[in-house]
């Protein structure tokens, strides 16, 4: 498990709390009571502060997944339905990324992956990987390319769905598909998944031609004649797809001729609501796990060295294994522990603030109902703050959000 590394965050005074935790969460240094008091006061200030608008309700979702329409399959598509069926069970967040040759969409996709946890699926890359896989489908692709034939749209769509179903992620950038109206119609029939939005990186053909010629990637098709043929196909086919999506979805056009950082600065606000929703959902699921004594849920969302201030800790900073014992009283670990009280939490007025690419605050009021108390005073309310960080997962290169610090104080009113 990697150690969370915190760089100094020069933020507003309300964000001062993070500076108090700019050391490793694996540190065994005992925090002083003064530090605890300062942190608590800062967190209380956060609950009374205003945050930028745009946070979505944790239960809302803008993605729409439609059932697959009936229709005859393309006989040349040999990716089975069993290989793609896993995609339908996910709460998918898809973004179609498009742009002409030299628009810089590959560079921006890499930055989105790093900063927002999406997985980048390039239609061209998936075809090349399948072509070299030695499978029957790969040999079919080789033969079609050798004969100068187009790869069937259904095959490309199913390769994308296969990659989605195999991934543990649920957020994807689909790059290079659909390229034309026929691709789009097949995608609607085979997948039926509407994108969150379309990211269209624009620029003048003259400047993008210059970029492609100067990038020197060693591609055989990076010559002026081939580049202009690619632009002709893009202008005649892909622009028609964009015009169609403008009538049914949101198309965000970003000027790709700016610097890489300036382009990304315009792109970032488009993805922040998706991350905010993800963090709110993680918070709700974590609270449900705590209410029910589900230790696996705790392990999924909490870093092993998570720290906490809350009323029951009597002013002490509880950390790591002490917190697990404090929360679950682990004599012998079980997946679901018996609790002396039946609890049900409701999250009220949640706010998410993304502080940097890998650090975020989740603030909310938690209304806690104690279900096995017959008396009137069975509802408690707390102001709660979670500090979340994106950290490398144990089972792969992706990064997952983990709760690294948690603060709770009694709400003055319900």
Q: Which residues are 197's β-sheet partners?
A: 95
Whether residue 265 lies inside any domain: the answer is no
Residue 3 has a pLDDT of 45
CA distance 214 to 259: 16
Q: Are residues 88 and 38 in the same domain?
A: no
Whether residue 199 lies inside any domain: the answer is yes
Residue 263 has a pLDDT of 97
Q: Are residues 199 and 332 in the same domain?
A: no
Q: pTM for the full model?
A: 0.72
CATH number at residue 284: 3.10.450.50
Whether residue 341 lies inside any domain: the answer is yes
pLDDT in tens, the chain (414 residues): 444 444 433 333 333 344 333 333 333 222 322 333 333 344 344 444 433 333 333 333 333 333 344 444 444 455 656 565 555 556 899 999 999 989 999 999 999 998 899 999 999 899 999 988 888 888 888 888 777 777 899 999 999 999 999 998 999 999 989 999 999 999 999 999 999 999 999 999 899 989 988 876 555 556 788 888 889 988 888 999 999 999 988 999 999 999 999 999 999 999 999 999 999 999 999 999 888 888 889 889 999 889 888 776 666 677 765 666 656 655 444 555 445 567 889 999 999 999 987 899 999 999 988 777 666 557 889 999 999 999 987 666 678 899 999 998 988 865
Q: Are residues 293 and 252 in the same domain?
A: no
Q: Which pair of tokens denotes residue 104? A: 């810089």
Q: What is the domain extent for residue 157?
A: 81-257
Q: Are residues 42 and 85 in the same domain?
A: no
Residue 30 has a pLDDT of 28
Residue 194 has a pLDDT of 92
Whether residue 405 lies inside any domain: the answer is yes
- Find how far residue 81's CA is from the centre of its chain: 26
Q: Are residues 181 and 294 in the same domain?
A: no
- The domain total for the chain is 2
Q: Are residues 301 and 227 in the same domain?
A: no
Q: Are residues 289 and 395 in the same domain?
A: yes
Q: Which of 257, 288, 318 is the last residue of a domain?
A: 257
In 3D space, the residue among 379, 381, 371, 370 whose CA is nearest the CA of residue 408 turns out to be: 381
In 3D space, the residue among 375, 376, 349 whose CA is nearest the CA of residue 364 turns out to be: 349
Whether residue 262 lies inside any domain: the answer is no
Q: Are residues 179 and 86 in the same domain?
A: yes
Q: Are residues 94 and 228 in the same domain?
A: yes
Contact 93, 275 (CB under 8 A): no
Q: Are residues 105 and 239 in the same domain?
A: yes
Q: Which pair of tokens denotes residue 238? A: 């892909």
Residue 314 has a pLDDT of 60
For 23, 39, 283, 319, the CA distances from 29, given in Å and listed in that order, are 10, 16, 28, 11
Residue 113 has a pLDDT of 93
* Kind plus residue range of the DSSP H or E element containing 319: strand 318-319
Angle at CA 251, nearest 5°, toward 246 and 252?
150
CATH number at residue 195: 3.40.50.300
Residue 294 has a pLDDT of 86
Q: Which of 198, 227, 257 is the last residue of a domain?
A: 257
Q: Are residues 219 and 353 in the same domain?
A: no
Q: What residues contact residue 320 under an 8 Å CB cut-off, 6+ apart? A: 304, 305, 306, 307
Whether residue 75 lies inside any domain: the answer is no
Whether residue 45 lies inside any domain: the answer is yes
Helix, strand, coil percentages for the chain (3-state, nearest 5): 45, 20, 35
Contact 308, 407 (CB under 8 A): yes
Contact 384, 407 (CB under 8 A): yes
**Kind of pairing between the strands at 302-309 and 318-319:** antiparallel
* Kind plus residue range of the DSSP H or E element containing 27: none
Whether residue 273 lies inside any domain: the answer is no
Q: Which of 223, 257, 291 is the last residue of a domain?
A: 257
Q: Are residues 119 and 221 in the same domain?
A: yes
């Amino acid at each position: 498990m990697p150690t969370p590394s915190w760089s100094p965050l020069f933020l507003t005074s309300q964000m001062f709390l993070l500076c108090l935790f700019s050391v490793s969460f694996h540190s065994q240094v005992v925090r002083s009571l003064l530090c605890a008091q300062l942190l608590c006061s800062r967190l209380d200030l956060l609950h009374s502060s205003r945050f930028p608008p745009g946070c979505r309700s944790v239960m809302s979702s803008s993605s729409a997944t439609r059932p697959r329409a009936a229709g005859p399959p393309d006989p040349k598509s040999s990716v089975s339905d069993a290989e793609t069926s896993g995609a339908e069970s996910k709460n998918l967040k898809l973004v179609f990324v498009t742009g002409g040759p030299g628009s810089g969409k590959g560079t921006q996709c890499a930055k989105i992956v790093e900063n927002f946890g999406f997985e980048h699926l390039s239609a061209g890359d998936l075809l090349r990987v399948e072509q070299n896989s030695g499978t029957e489908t790969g040999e079919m692709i080789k033969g079609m390319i050798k004969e100068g034939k187009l790869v069937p749209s259904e095959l490309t769509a199913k390769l994308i769905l296969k990659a989605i179903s195999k991934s543990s992620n649920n957020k994807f950038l689909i790059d290079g598909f659909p390229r034309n109206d026929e691709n789009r119609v097949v995608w609607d029939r085979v997948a039926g998944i509407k994108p969150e939005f379309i990211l269209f990186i624009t620029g003048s053909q003259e400047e993008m031609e210059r970029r492609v010629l100067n990038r020197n990637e060693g591609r055989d098709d990076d010559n002026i004649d081939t580049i202009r043929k690619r632009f002709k196909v893009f202008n005649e086919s892909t622009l028609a797809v964009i015009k169609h999506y403008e009538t049914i979805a949101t198309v965000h056009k970003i000027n790709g001729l700016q610097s890489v950082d300036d382009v990304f600065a315009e792109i970032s606000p488009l993805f922040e609501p998706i991350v905010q929703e993800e963090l709110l959902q993680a918070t709700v699921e974590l609270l449900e796990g705590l209410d029910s004594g589900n230790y696996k849920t705790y392990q999924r969302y909490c870093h092993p060295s998570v720290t906490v201030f809350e009323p029951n800790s009597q002013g002490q900073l509880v950390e790591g294994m002490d917190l697990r014992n404090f929360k679950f009283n682990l004599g012998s670990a079980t997946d679901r522990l018996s609790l002396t009280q039946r609890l049900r939490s409701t999250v009220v007025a949640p706010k998410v603030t993304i502080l940097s690419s890998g650090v975020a605050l989740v603030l909310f009021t938690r209304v806690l109902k104690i279900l096995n108390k017959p008396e009137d005073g069975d509802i408690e309310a707390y102001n709660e703050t979670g500090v979340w960080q994106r950290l490398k997962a144990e089972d792969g290169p992706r990064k997952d959000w983990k709760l690294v610090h948690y603060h709770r104080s009694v709400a003055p009113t319900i």
